[in-house]
């Protein structure tokens, strides 16, 4: 079995508070893996350790056979939504994505227009992101996450702020990405998202990850 992510004996403490407790899990390539749990259970901290944004107190993470913090600082070939996406409020959605790609030395007007269309926004709109609704900002955040065609998506509450149509659109998008072989880690409070999308589910409770696999 081919695994995109392997988490081995991860623990993470902030001062005396142990937020993650000896977590071991492997996420198979090309599947959507759900992580459920209450606020403060440790879901976001686990995702940040996988991405390389936080260094575990103990244990190791590998993403596509690269050891995070040893072979590379951050998860390779990975797009993400983790907390609120940060954008330039005075610029349009198109200009924000153009600027972000430019930081990587990439110029691709076609790809920017493609991902903006994919998430249901208008690439020609001049509306500054500061005047976007919460749902529009979330759609743009998803566009940013998929812009460079990552093999892994780490999505922390990606449906936040979306109306019913937005949720339906994003579910369809994520299922299409899975068909193309993208691996997705998805944290959601909405059991309907988990049921509609996920091949496996694991539950985080007080820093402990309980495995409960099922087929979508």
Domain ranges of the chain: 1-77+150-216, 86-148
Residue 213 has a pLDDT of 67
pTM attached to this predicted model: 0.93
Alpha-carbon 183 to chain mean position: 10
Predicted confidence (pLDDT) at residue 58 exceeds the cutoff of 80: yes
> What is d(CA 61, CA 59) in angstroms, rounded to the nearest whole number?
7
Residue 103 has a pLDDT of 80
Predicted confidence (pLDDT) at residue 51 exceeds the cutoff of 50: yes
Angle between helices 109-118 and 134-146 (to 10 degrees): 130
**Architecture in CATH of 1-77+150-216:** 3-Layer(aba) Sandwich (3.40)
Overall average pLDDT of the 65-88 stretch: 91
Q: CB neighbours of 167 closer than 8 A, spacing ≥ 6?
A: 159, 193
pLDDT of 59-70, one tens digit each? Answer: 999 999 999 999
What's the Cα-to-Cα distance from 16 to each of 13, 19, 142, 201, rounded to whole Å?
Answer: 7, 9, 35, 29
Q: Please say whether the beta carbons of 37 and 204 come within 8 A.
A: yes
Residue 214 has a pLDDT of 63
Predicted confidence (pLDDT) at residue 14 exceeds the cutoff of 90: yes
């Amino acid at each position: 079995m081919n695994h995109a992510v392997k988490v081995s004996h991860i623990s993470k403490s902030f001062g005396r508070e142990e937020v993650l407790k000896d977590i071991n899990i492997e996420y198979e390539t090309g599947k959507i893996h759900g992580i459920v749990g209450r606020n403060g259970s440790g879901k976001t901290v686990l995702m940040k350790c996988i991405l390389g944004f936080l260094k575990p107190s103990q244990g190791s993470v590998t993403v596509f056979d690269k050891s995070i913090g040893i072979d590379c600082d951050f998860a390779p070939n990975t797009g993400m939504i983790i907390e609120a996406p940060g954008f330039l409020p005075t610029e349009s959605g198109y200009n924000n994505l153009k600027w972000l790609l430019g930081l990587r030395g990439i110029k691709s007007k076609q790809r920017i227009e493609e991902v903006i269309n994919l998430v249901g926004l208008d690439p020609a709109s001049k509306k500054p992101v500061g005047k976007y609704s919460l749902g529009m900002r979330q759609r743009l955040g998803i566009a940013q996450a998929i812009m460079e065609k990552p093999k892994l998506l780490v999505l922390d509450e990606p449906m936040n702020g979306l109306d019913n149509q937005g949720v339906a659109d994003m579910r369809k998008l994520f299922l299409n990405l899975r068909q193309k072989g993208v691996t997705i880690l998805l944290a959601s409070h909405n059991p309907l998202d988990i049921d509609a999308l996920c091949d496996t589910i694991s539950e985080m409770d007080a820093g402990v990850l309980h495995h409960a696999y099922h087929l979508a």
